[in-house]
Amino acid sequence: MKDFKEYRLFSELRALYASTEEYRRTVRFMFRLKDKINVTSLAFAIKMVQKRYPYYCVELKKDDNGLYFIKNDRDIILADKNKDILLNSEESNYHLISFQYNDDNYIIINLSHALADGIAIYHLIRTLLYYYITNAFNIELSKENIRLVEDEISEEEFNDPLATTKKIIKLPQIKLNPALNIIKENHLENQENFIYHLEIDEKELMDYVKSIKATPGTLMSLVLSKAIKNENADSKNVVRMSICVDLRKLLDAPLAHQSLVSGIIYDYDESFNNLKIEDEIKKIRENVNESIKEPKSLFYISSSYYYLSMLSKEKDINKARFIASKDKETMGGLITGVISYVGKANFGDSEKYITDFRTATDSPTSILVEIAAVNGKFYLDFIQNFKDERYLNAFKKELDELKIKYEVKDLIKLDLPRMKSII
């Protein structure tokens, strides 16, 4: 990768223009290690991360043509948990990413969703853990599948494949009926957002997943669909679920570092009535498999491309932010819940040091379930834009009926990194 001074934005615009104090479009990853955090080694590991991932070391700027990034050579901030770092400000050295640690042995990564999605950040976490563990304990770890400072960064890793894709089609006119909106249906407006953190044994869940020919994502999507439908049995609106999909695969760009996530949707409607769970899973998986192959995959690529092109061509930042706010409103009206599963973490030799893993972000939908598979456990962060426990209890009931053992670790208020406004 050639050195850069600045570059114009494309995929990044979705999160940047949507970001407000109420809907921050930031992400917080937290993972607990077995031993007390060695701050010196963590600071060293962050310096290595900064060298390896120059495209995440940027400062956000604006001019008459819109938003762009410039190279930011200032140190990425490392602070203890008691210091709330405002991203995109002097506090963060104008970075859109910062790190923290706390006395409970957690390492915390705060970032704007404009920088990356979970798939991309997992690469960064592998690098961070490798340098931290080897430095803190003076041991050797395997370098397999770890991005290291001595790597030559390819253009494929730096460039945005969505900005230059040729896989574009004219979008068909599709009118979706409104989906069930949990908040409006149950008058749960203006409540604080909360996260329930669940833990499930990986082997036990995977044994069950394999027995019904499912995947962790499709199974949890089905469980959530059933739970929501049972709690809203009299609703006239359909439960419409979205399963996150990695656009890198559809764009043939596995190395890309940007936030490149779309969502495959399906209606949990009367066509699922009286089906065995194996047939329900088959129905969902057929939908997913069809959607990630051409020609249907071109719809998901094209819809993202056209939306981002519209934002990139809008020179008035306030108008672009208005477009993004309407998109959020539209998504909240068309989708009931979201399942996000990055896939097995595969953090290498460092993974055995992790004893908990948490993902927190916000969503335009009423419920978002983030799933991580780390060191023999599935960690589910059940994120809802209200506090009412009914939907978690309904979700737990469905797990109980499937004889899937779980543990609800805690309930916490959704606390996301703050980011200074771009205006």
Average pLDDT over residues 409-413: 94
Per-residue confidence band for 174, with pLDDT thresholds at 50, 70 and 90:
confident
Domain of 362, CATH number, reads: 3.30.559.30
pLDDT at 40 over 90: yes
Which tens digits make up the pLDDT trace of 179-224? 999 999 999 998 899 999 999 999 999 999 999 999 999 999 999 9
* In a shared domain, residues 135 and 221: no
Looking at the domain assignment, is residue 196 inside a domain?
yes
In a domain, 173, yes or no: no
pLDDT the model gives residue 180: 97
Residue 3: pLDDT band (50, 70, 90) is: confident
Across the range 43-56, mean pLDDT stands at: 98
Cα R_g (the chain), whole angstroms: 21
User: Do 70 and 215 sit in the same domain of this protein?
Assistant: no
- Do the domain assignments include residue 231? yes
Q: Which of 130, 160, 190 is the last residue of a domain?
A: 160
pLDDT computed for residue 2 by the predictor: 65
pLDDT at residue number 335: 97
Each residue's pLDDT tens digit, 318-345? 999 999 999 999 999 999 999 999 899 9
Looking at the structure, tell me whether residues 76 and 220 fall in a common domain.
no
What is the identity of the amino acid at 188?
Answer: L
Token pair of 410 as six digits: 């805690």
pLDDT above 70 for 158: yes
Once rounded to an integer, what is the mean pLDDT over residues 383-397? Answer: 96
Number of domains in the chain: 2
Q: How far is CA 239 from CA 215, 246, 262, in A?
A: 20, 23, 19
Structure tokens at 374: 């780390």
Quick one: average pLDDT of 279-290? Answer: 97
Q: Are residues 107 and 148 in the same domain?
A: yes
Q: Are 10 and 42 members of one domain?
A: yes
Domain boundary among 160, 192, 215: 160
Pair (106, 200) in one structural domain:
no
Tell which of 127, 160, 193 closes a domain. 160
Q: Are residues 190 and 242 in the same domain?
A: yes
The reply to whether 216 falls in a domain is yes
| Model confidence, pTM | 0.96
186 lies in the same domain as 149? no
Q: Read out DSSP for 248-262? A: HHHHT-TT--S--EE
Q: How confident is the model at residue 422 (pLDDT cuts 50, 70, 90)?
A: confident
Q: Tell me, yes or no, whether 317 lies in a domain.
A: yes
**Calpha distance 72→366 (Å, rounded):** 36
**Domain assignment of residue 1, yes or no:** no
Pair (131, 214) in one structural domain: no
Whether 377 shows a pLDDT value over 70: the answer reads yes
Strand pairing of 26-33 and 6-8?
unpaired
- For the segment 30-38, the average pLDDT, to the nearest whole number, is 97
Residue 392 to residues 272, 302, 358, Cα–Cα distance (Å):
22, 35, 17
User: Is the pLDDT higher at 257 or at 174?
Assistant: 257
d(C-alpha 5, C-alpha 58), whole Å: 9
Looking at the structure, tell me whether residues 134 and 253 fall in a common domain.
no
Q: What pLDDT is recorded for position 342?
A: 87
Q: Looking at the structure, do residues 266 and 193 belong to the same domain, yes or no?
A: yes
Residue 220 lies in a domain: yes
Q: Which range of residues forms the domain containing residue 93?
A: 6-160
- Largest CA-CA distance found in the chain, in angstroms, rounded: 61
pLDDT tens digits, 57-104: 999 999 999 999 999 999 999 999 878 899 999 999 999 999 999 999
Q: What is the CATH number of the domain that holds 126?
A: 3.30.559.10
Would you state the pLDDT for residue 82? 78
423 found inside a domain: no
My answer on whether 32 and 70 are in the same domain is yes
